[in-house]
Amino acid sequence: MSEPLANRVQAMTTLKSTLVDDIPVAWCSPIEPRAAGPRLALWQPPFGMDKAAMEPYLRELAEAGFTAVSVDPWQHGERAADETGEERFARVFAAFRRGMWPILGRTVLDCMRVPDWAEEELGAGREAVAGGMSLGGDTAVALAGADARVRRVAAIVATPDWTRPGMRDVFDPSREIDQGEAGPTAQWFHDHLCPMKRLDAFAAHAPAIAFELGADDTHVPPEAAARFRDALAATPATVRITHHPGDHSAAIRTPDPWRNSLEWLTSTED
């Protein structure tokens, strides 16, 4: 690569950040925008991480021709409450439905704002692809049900069922988590955004969704993706499921789920 081109690549794919309304956003610009298909990609972090930690993924998406964007999930990054990551983890998983569902719901609604901003300010076009890991993947799948502009989704160790039947502690798989009861706000987010409650929207929007799952994942049980696929089998929506060896953490650490996700998001075929 010549020095001038190398400098251009570095400048274009450098992570930038701003506030969109009150939403903290980071993005990398493409060297050359894609000639076909959506030109905007949202890639969302797992629970406990923020948009800045997604820089390696955003850079690869930008190199593939996307305007690549990540949003701080609610209560994360610039939106974090006055608590440590350990305190946030303990609080949310002590009352999962009351704590996690609002994080999911608010983040989905914030991500719906991104295509408007990216089209107006970055010229990224109206259609998008989306993906993420764990919480980020849950967000991306739900976003496709809420926003018809999202045409393709890649979800790593994620679920379409926010109730996660049989969910176990990610650090102690012998312990099933008591998820508690949802408060009114949490329940509203679930009822209006959880993909398993929005099958008609997925049938109407017909996105193409790829799940990259840990075969032995007990924290985000992979059976929910199969139920989702089966429920949409007679609709125009596409759901692909790939199982990888290992549990939740192993599937995040290994490179294959991300490589598959990048290939899926850049494809223009189902």
Superfamily of domain 3-266: Alpha/Beta hydrolase fold, catalytic domain (3.40.50.1820)
Check if the beta carbon of residue 105 is closer than 8 Å to that of residue 135: no
Query: Which residue in 186, 181, 254, 171 sits closest to 219, CA to CA?
Result: 171
pLDDT in the model for residue 5: 46
| Separation between Cα atoms, residue 88 and residue 99, nearest integer Å | 9
pTM: 0.93
Q: What is the pLDDT of residue 2?
A: 47
Query: How confident is the model over 156-182, as pLDDT tens digits?
Result: 999 999 999 999 999 999 999 999 999
Reported confidence tier of residue 4, pLDDT bands at 50, 70, 90: low
Per residue in 56-93, pLDDT tens? 999 999 999 999 999 999 999 999 988 899 999 999 99
pLDDT of 31 above 60: yes
**Residue ranges per domain, the chain?**
3-266
In three-state form (DSSP H/G/I as H, E/B as E, the rest C), the secondary structure along the chain is: CCHHHHHHHHHHHCCEEEEECCEEEEEECCCCCCCCCCCEEEEECCCCCCHHHHHHHHHHHHHCCCEEEEECCCCCHHHCCCCCHHHHHHHHHHCHHHHHHHHHHHHHHHHHHHHHHHHHHHCCCCCEEEEEECHHHHHHHHHHHHCCCEEEEEEECCCCCCCCCCCECCCCCCCECCCCCCCHHHHHHHHHHCHHHCHHHHHHHCCEEEEEEECCCCCCCCHHHHHHHHHCCCCCCEEEEEEECCCHHHHHHCCHHHHHHHHHHHCCCC
The predicted-structure confidence for 179-234, as pLDDT tens digits, reads as follows 999 999 999 999 999 999 999 999 999 999 999 999 999 999 999 999 999 999 99
Pair 70, 38: CB distance under 8 Å: no
Q: How high is the pLDDT of residue 9?
A: 52
